[in-house]
Structure 1
């Protein structure tokens, strides 16, 4: 920790150098016959004048906050909870820039002092430590004649080293205490980070819904088709051949759907995917593939569905797809009634199918068949899709019929 803080302070001294050189050029223009490079007292004047220049630089360069926070996180020896609170974003407001400027001045001031002491004190300390035992040094004109003998010289040299170490410790501790105050996240930073996390989560959830609804539907259909082909392979080879053909077509469609979903990961700057997502215009192919899996579908689709807004049409397709998949997975090859009605301001989707019953138990009217292991995301996904468009979705069993009802406003936009 001590070494890291010393490196951090020396880095501050290095960052101070260009501002100090600029100040050393300006001071002689203000005061006659002054040379800050040779006049020791005026070096402090140049040092003091360099700090406001550094503050001005911090105000003009928002990215400096990110750089300083990174250096403090790596070298200041801060606790993990404090390190996590240091901002990673540039200073995007004047209040944040002022805080960054205060930190930058503190870093450069402490770093300049420690760097100067690190350059000057160790050589002097070495000379004082060697003074009693080194004859050339003992007889040299050092300006400190009373240190030439005894232990006073070595003790003074050790004192200089202790002074450098103590100053480094104090400066590092001061910056460690100031870091969370001046470089920590503001409420605006936390809000922006929360919005980014929410956007990332929404993007992941969107991709999960697309994968679940598209690929999951195809896999459910293929599973049923393969099972049917296996059972009648010897008794009815023609049926098995048709089932295999349906599997081929379903998997081909699933690959195309997967390309569409993966296109969501390759969106360009204007938010368009490489491949268009399916809409209600492709509903006929979806119904054919699902019927090939053994589901008996009675579909009644409003003719005006071909003129729906793109977003509503796309989400409606996925909702219908998941509704049919649920029937396949949980009820088997049962008759399904699909109704898509278009009103003046909303689209209504209804999917109904008989509930799978256990003959040894009382029929349930509140839930469909037991979900398969790892499932259970279909209905929440439908609800999320409807909610994102400002609509609503309801699902439940009554009188032996499982019914999914979804309402989507036509004015939905994203």
Structure 2
């Protein structure tokens, strides 16, 4: 029973009914203004004694309401009321004042529709319940038939008084159905009349896409710089601890490498945080590139105890700055993965061929391929994002008895 009555008397239907009542309350001043116009034109002092004149005042007042809807706060206030009372998602509504002629026209159409339906439902809500109540109790209080309530004379004959409760209940149900239907109609039209324009949706989508791109870029930079540094420092510290008593010279080299790695990583972290603070303003340290920082990256990786063989058949200084920067991060991530998972000699080859920069990082597979740690895999995903943005290609996986990362970047990067 409750489920059957929910569309008519459920919580959402009641809130929409309240929204219509508010529309009726807002319509009253305009109806009064309409009566001031209709009264002198018809020569009637009190237009509210005549239903046709009341409807005429209502018809005159609605265009006036449409004109006043250009008030800047109309659109935000109506959107807030619709979101709170009609159950419409706030993202489907615009909460800023109307700026263009089309937005003002849609706001005027909505305001007129809200006040028009609200006035009708409000009038019914005032008139129908008392009359329906009288019909329901009429068989018990037969004397009501002879009062000045304006009851139809048909109720004085036959079985009509006994059926009057049914008519009363039917009127209440019809009122509830009318209110629910008008509320659903307003909820249906609200996104179209109060919602953002296609241009607004496109601008919002572009803004979200730009924010997401910045977040992904920062995530890649943090993962590649800080993640690589922490992996290298962990291995260097572990090796220094094991050889502390037997090889003091190696320990000194490891501590120097830890110092150099952390100092450099702090500089890179400052650059990334500068982007967070100031948008695209460069941070305190420039982004590392293949031309300027490849030798240091290989030296720090070797200091962590990882054997690395590097072959460079290209001129890093001749690479476009964007390609050089992204290529450095790709090599860094490949070496970082080898540090964390391989423990075997790593070979790095960098060459140019057919207008592309080719990067290959390869290491033999160990005795067992280590299980993927929870939340892992972000490094390869970051490489794929970098390569895709430059219009290149990347492949990573088992190749025979080795793990191989192969990347091709166009030298004329997009």
Matched ranges for 1:11-410 at <5 A: 11-17=22-28, 19-20=30-31, 23=34, 31=41, 42-56=53-67, 64=75, 67-76=77-86, 83-84=88-89, 87-89=92-94, 101-116=108-123, 167=175, 169-183=177-191, 188=198, 192=202, 198-199=209-210, 201-268=212-279, 271-272=280-281, 278-280=287-289, 281-295=292-306, 296-298=308-310, 300=312, 302-305=315-318, 308-309=320-321, 311-332=322-343, 334-339=345-350, 341=352, 348-358=357-367, 369-370=369-370, 372-374=372-374, 375-396=376-397, 397=399, 400=402, 402-410=404-412
Q: In 2 relative to 1, CA 145–62 (structure 1 residues): closer, same or farther, beyond 3 Å? A: closer
Q: Deviations over 1:147-206 (max 9, x none)?
A: xxxxxxxxx9xx999968853551233221442355267994997476666555544433
Normalising by structure 2, report the TM-score: 0.69
Instruction: Name the Cα RMSD after superposition.
Output: 5.1
Q: How far apart, CA to CA, are the structure 2 residues paired with 1:28 and 1:274?
A: 73
Give the stretch that moved more between structures: 66-75 or 8-17. Answer: 66-75
**Aligned in 2, Cα 1:298/1:164: closer, same or farther, shift over 3 Å?**
same
- Relative to structure 1, is the Cα distance of residues 390 and 21 closer, same or farther in structure 2, using a 3 angstrom cutoff? farther
Deviations 1:78-129 (A, max 9, x none): xxxxx45971346898878766654433321122234455667889999999
Instruction: Give the TM-score, by structure 1 length.
Output: 0.69
* Residue number in structure 2 paired with 1:150: none
SS of 1:351's equivalent?
A: strand
Q: Distance in 2 between matches of 1:256 and 1:36?
A: 82
Please give the secondary structure, in 1, of the residue aligned with 2:362.
strand
Q: CA deviation at 1:19?
A: 4.2
CA distance in 2, matches of 1:346, 1:22: 77
Q: Report which stretch shifted further, 371-380 or 84-93.
A: 84-93
Distance in 1 (CA, whole Å) between partners of 2:387 and 2:53 is 72
What secondary structure does 1:183 align onto?
A: helix
1:8 is displaced (CA, Å) by 0.9
Does the aligned pair in 2 maintain the 1:9–1:172 contact within 8 Å?
Answer: no
How many residues are aligned here? 386
